[in-house]
């Protein structure tokens, strides 16, 4: 069944006994289905005009019962329907204005019936919506969705605020009378709740996208920081490697100077006929030079930063097995001072056990 419009029925047509009592097998020659019959003082009745046949009831009592039902339905549409319904004639003069429109538009039925709709709502022309009414007179049905058109007739939005307009979806049908278009029928639905839900979903989607974008920005920032740390770590490794290379170069230079410059002079000095004390000093000097180029002094300095230079000298001589008296003589000091240095060295090396030999411990550090 293909819907083509709405057919208007007069009281005469509805109550015409010959039409409804023509026999038990009567079938309406004009194909249509009754959908709605309004009170006779408003709309005698209108039905959708279709492309398939639907026979009327065969008994008069059934017919009158159905007509009464349709009139009640029409009364409900007029007074309590959850949507707006209006009709116009061919000149767009309003012929019906239901209760829903009265409560939403601020216009009473007596204010609009008999007046041109385009005069009551001139913005229909400025918004180019009058063309849909013209198309209805040519037999075409138009659906005006809220997403594309916003609204058909301006009415107060939620809460009755004057600065808001009710979002609407609307249908504009041709009103068919005696197989011809006699005007228009307009159906208006308030879609405020749907629009609000869509807005909430849209806001939620936008918030989700913003949160996702913020997360992506944070991840990108973390990636940049991680890359920066990697670059700094690489640079630090390069610096440490360079430091080791410089350290090795310095050690090689010191070793070269000791072996090639200082040791030949010490050897020459020993061949000049030195006395016992002078020979002892030369031996100490040679041992100190050996310690300089050996890791022992470096070990003492690195592991035990609290040792003074004098304590390191004493530790070197203790390691060689020198006695307190010999060390005092070689360093031009007193046995009491050397004993004091020995005590400090033991304390700083953590040798609380007096039975542990200091010289043996120092030898273990040089290995």
Instruction: Identify whether residues 185 and 219 lie together within a single domain.
Output: no
Cβ atoms of 32 and 48 within 8 Å: the answer is yes
Domain boundary pick from 191, 215, 240: 191
Backbone angles phi, psi at 284, to 5 degrees: -60, -45
Whether 265 maps to a domain, the answer reads no
pTM: 0.45
Whether 284 maps to a domain, the answer reads yes
Instruction: Identify whether residues 58 and 187 lie together within a single domain.
Output: yes
Whether 268 maps to a domain, the answer reads no
Q: Output the six-digit token pair for 156.
A: 């107060």
Whether 167 maps to a domain, the answer reads yes
d(CA 364, CA 349) in angstroms, rounded, equals: 12
Instruction: Identify whether residues 243 and 336 lie together within a single domain.
Output: no
Average pLDDT score, the chain: 76
Per-residue pLDDT reduced to its tens digit, 155-178? 876 555 556 789 999 999 999 877
pLDDT of residue 277: 79
Q: Which CATH number goes with the domain that contains 120?
A: 3.30.450.20
pLDDT of residue 50: 40
Per-residue pLDDT reduced to its tens digit, 40-96? 333 334 444 444 444 444 455 554 555 555 555 556 566 667 889 999 999 999 999
Instruction: Identify whether residues 173 and 233 lie together within a single domain.
Output: no
d(CA 354, CA 347) in angstroms, rounded, equals: 11
For residues 135 and 65, the model is more confident at 135
Domain boundary pick from 191, 214, 239: 191
Nearest by Cα to 167 from 187, 192, 184 = 192
Instruction: Assess whether pLDDT exceeds 90 at residue 263.
Output: no
How many structural domains does the chain have?
3
Instruction: Identify whether residues 341 and 248 lie together within a single domain.
Output: no
Mean predicted confidence (pLDDT) in 90-103: 92
pLDDT of residue 122: 94
Backbone angles phi, psi at 173, to 5 degrees: -105, 155
Three-class HEC string of the chain: CCEEEEEECCHHHHHCHHHHCCCCCCCCCCCECCCECCCCCCCCCEEEEECCCCCCCCCHHHHHHHHHHHHHHHHHHHHHCCCEEEEECCCCEEEEECHHHHHHHCCCHHHHCCCEHHHHCCHHHHCCCHHHHHHHHCCCCEEECHHHHCCCCCCECHHHCCCCECCEEEEEEEEEECCEEEEEEEEEEECHHHHHHHHHHHHHHHHHHHHHHHHHHHHHHHHHHHHHHHHHHHHHHHHHHHHHHHHHHHHHHHHHHHHHHHHHHHHHHHCCCCCHHHHHHHHHHHHHHHHHHCHHHHHHHHHCCCCCHHHHHHHHHHHCCCCHHHHHHHCCCCHHHHHHHHHHHHHHHCCCCCCCCHHHHHHHHCC
Instruction: Identify whether residues 173 and 198 lie together within a single domain.
Output: no
pLDDT of residue 280: 80
Domain boundary pick from 174, 191, 208: 191
Helix 358-365 to helix 295-303 angle, to the nearest 10 degrees? 100
By residue range, what is the domain housing residue 223? Answer: 192-255
Per-residue pLDDT reduced to its tens digit, 196-253? 898 899 999 999 999 999 999 999 999 999 999 999 999 999 998 888 888 767 766 7
Instruction: Identify whether residues 84 and 232 lie together within a single domain.
Output: no
């Amino acid at each position: 069944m293909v819907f083509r419009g709405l057919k208007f029925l007069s009281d005469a047509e509805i109550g015409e006994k010959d039409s409804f009592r023509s026999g038990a097998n009567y079938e309406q020659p004009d194909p249509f289905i009754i959908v709605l019959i309004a009170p006779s003082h408003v709309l005698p009745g209108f039905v959708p005009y279709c492309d398939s046949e639907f026979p009327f009831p065969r008994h008069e009592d059934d017919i009158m019962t159905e007509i009464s039902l349709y009139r009640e339905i029409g009364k409900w549409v007029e007074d309590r329907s959850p949507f707006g319904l209006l009709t116009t004639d061919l000149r767009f003069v309003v012929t019906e204005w239901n209760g829903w429109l009265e409560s939403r538009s601020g216009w009473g039925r007596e204010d609009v019936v008999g007046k041109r709709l385009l005069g009551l709502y001139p913005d229909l022309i400025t918004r180019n919506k009058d063309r849909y009414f013209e198309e209805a007179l040519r037999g075409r049905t138009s659906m005006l969705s809220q997403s594309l058109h916003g609204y058909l007739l301006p009415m107060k939005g939620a809460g009755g605020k004057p600065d808001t307009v009710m979002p609407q979806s609307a249908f504009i049908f041709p009103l068919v009378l005696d197989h011809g278009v006699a005007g228009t029928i307009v159906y208006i639905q308030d879609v405020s709740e749907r629009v609000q839900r869509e807005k909430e979903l849209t806001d939620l989607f936008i918030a989700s996208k913003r949160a996702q974008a913020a997360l992506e920005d944070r991840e990108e920032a973390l990636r940049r920081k991680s890359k920066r740390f990697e670059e700094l770590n690489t640079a630090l490794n390069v610096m440490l490697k360079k430091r080791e290379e410089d350290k090795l170069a310095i050690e090689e230079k010191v070793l070269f100077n000791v072996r090639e410059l200082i040791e030949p002079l010490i050897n020459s000095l020993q061949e000049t006929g030195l006395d016992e004390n002078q020979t002892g000093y030369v031996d100490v000097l040679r041992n100190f030079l050996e310690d300089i180029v050996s890791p022992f002094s470096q070990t003492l300095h690195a592991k035990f930063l609290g040792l003074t230079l004098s304590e390191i000298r004493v530790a070197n001589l203790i390691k060689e097995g020198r006695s307190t008296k010999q060390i005092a003589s070689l360093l031009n000091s007193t046995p009491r001072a050397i004993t004091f240095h020995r005590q400090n060295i033991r304390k700083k090396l953590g040798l609380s056990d007096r039975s542990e030999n200091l010289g043996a411990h120092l030898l273990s550090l040089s290995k």
